[in-house]
Amino acid sequence: MTLPMVVRDDGLPDRVTVYEVGPRDGLQNEKTVIPLEVKVELVQRLVAAGLPIVEVTSFVRPEWVPQLADAEQLLDLVDHRGATPMPVLVPNERGLDRALEKGVQHIAIFGSATETFARRNLNRSLDEQFSMFEPVVKRALEHGLDVRAYVSMCFGDPWEGEVAVPQVVDVGRRLLDLGCSQLSLGDTIGVGTPGHVNALLDAFNNDGVADDRLAVHFHDTYGQALANATAALRHGVTTFDASAGGLGGCPYADSATGNLATEDLVWMLDGLGIDTGVDLGSLVATSQWLAGVLGRPSPSRVVNALS
């Protein structure tokens, strides 16, 4: 397999964490139901390819996201208590109850930086979302779970337009103050650019949140995901959300297209001599297989180039 030439940049970290969201965020917006056995094989193949974290599903109500209605069955069939963390998205206390029943060790909550998306996605106001999340995080921590927080619409909202940087920082800080270990900043509709990324990360740093508590989650709607990831990498962020094959979207935001492809991210990091622990060949083969299952080409440039 062709590999990139390695040219190190001494100003960059030696290693980063790729937080794989394909089985959850990548599949949640598919139009047809993905068989359980395909999801199980996808998770197993991603773990075998060396992805250090694989977010596997979400405990949302089945009528909201039908693609994830088999969350319990999936967890019965994958090694979610093994060496590779397998977080599960938990929207509320009922979702946490389901996670605890299955012995899940890592969960994530999903907040919004804007009023409109909070109401559409959570049926709560911007302020009310914190009242919903507070008991979830408190109980999860009491049970020894790790809790990650996502905040969506950090760079723009399809209904509200531009989102003020201080507003994003305020929401993110409040989520971290609940006790979350990490905050993932989401460009849900893919409108961010590198300068905007730097400005937002600077604002978090100025508010006392270091880059090592932040992750980034970019969508590639305008072809900016990899450029934005590079900006975050140079800023000091070392955790990057990505989806195998570039799959994904948001059921509540039609303008949200695919995630940053894990293969495209790993190719770039390999070329920079940054260790991810990911076997690119195995990952590409996995996305080629998944594209065949879904019946359409992968959006990933690297997958297509190496196919």
Is the pTM value of this prediction over 0.85? yes
* Alpha helical stretches, state H, the chain: 36-48, 71-77, 93-101, 115-122, 128-142, 165-177, 194-206, 225-235, 262-271, 280-294, 301-306
pLDDT at 254 over 60: no
Whether residue 126 has pLDDT greater than 80: yes
Lowest mean pLDDT among 118-122, 138-142, 264-268: 118-122
Place of tokens 């390819």: 49
Is 5 a domain residue?
Answer: no
Whether residue 12 lies inside any domain: the answer is no
How far from 120 is each of 111, 133, 223, CA to CA, in Å?
12, 16, 26
**Residues with catalytic annotation?**
250
Check which CATH number belongs to the domain holding 116 and give it.
3.20.20.70
> What is the predicted pLDDT for the residue at 63?
79
Residue range 80-85: mean pLDDT, rounded:
96
Average pLDDT over residues 133-151: 98
Q: How far apart are CA 83 and CA 86, in angstroms?
A: 9
Asked if pLDDT for residue 232 goes beyond 70, the answer is: yes
Q: Is position 10 within any domain?
A: no
In the structure encoding, which two tokens stand for residue 124, read together?
A: 């709560």
Number of domains in the chain: 1
C-alpha 106/C-alpha 104 separation (Å) is: 6
pLDDT per position as a tens digit, 157-183: 999 999 999 999 999 999 999 999 999
What is the CB neighbour count within 10 angstroms for residue 7? Answer: 8
Residue 63 resides in a domain: yes
Stretch 180-191: mean pLDDT: 97
pLDDT at residue 30 tops 90: no
Decide: 54 and 86 in contact? Cβ < 8 Å.
yes
Query: What percent of the chain lies above the pLDDT cut of 70?
Result: 97
Q: Which domain holds residue 217?
A: 17-306
Residue 8, in any domain of the structure: no
Query: Residue 229: what residue type?
Result: A
Q: Which two tokens stand for residue 136?
A: 């979830």
At 65 the pLDDT is 87
Least confident of 65-69, 162-166, 202-206: 65-69
Q: What is the reported pLDDT for 307?
A: 85
Residue 181 lies in a domain: yes
CA dihedral 23, 272, 237, 228 (to 10 degrees): -70
The predicted pLDDT at position 248 comes to: 79
pLDDT for residue 64 is more than 90: no
Identify the pLDDT of residue 31. Answer: 83
Residue 11 included in any domain: no
- What is the distance between the alpha carbons of residues 218 and 191, in angstroms, rounded to a whole number? 9
Cβ atoms of 109 and 90 closer than 8 Å? yes
pLDDT at 98 over 50: yes
pLDDT of residue 255: 46
Mean pLDDT for the chain overall: 94
Least confident interval from 11-20, 91-100, 241-250? 241-250
CB 273 within 8 A of CB 8: yes
Q: 3-class DSSP state for residue 110?
A: strand
pLDDT per residue over 260-300, tens digit each? 999 999 999 999 999 999 999 999 999 999 999 999 899 99
In the prediction, which pLDDT does 252 show? Answer: 46
Length of the chain: 307
The residues near 127 (Cβ < 8 Å, ≥ 6 apart) are: none
> Is residue 205 assigned to a domain?
yes
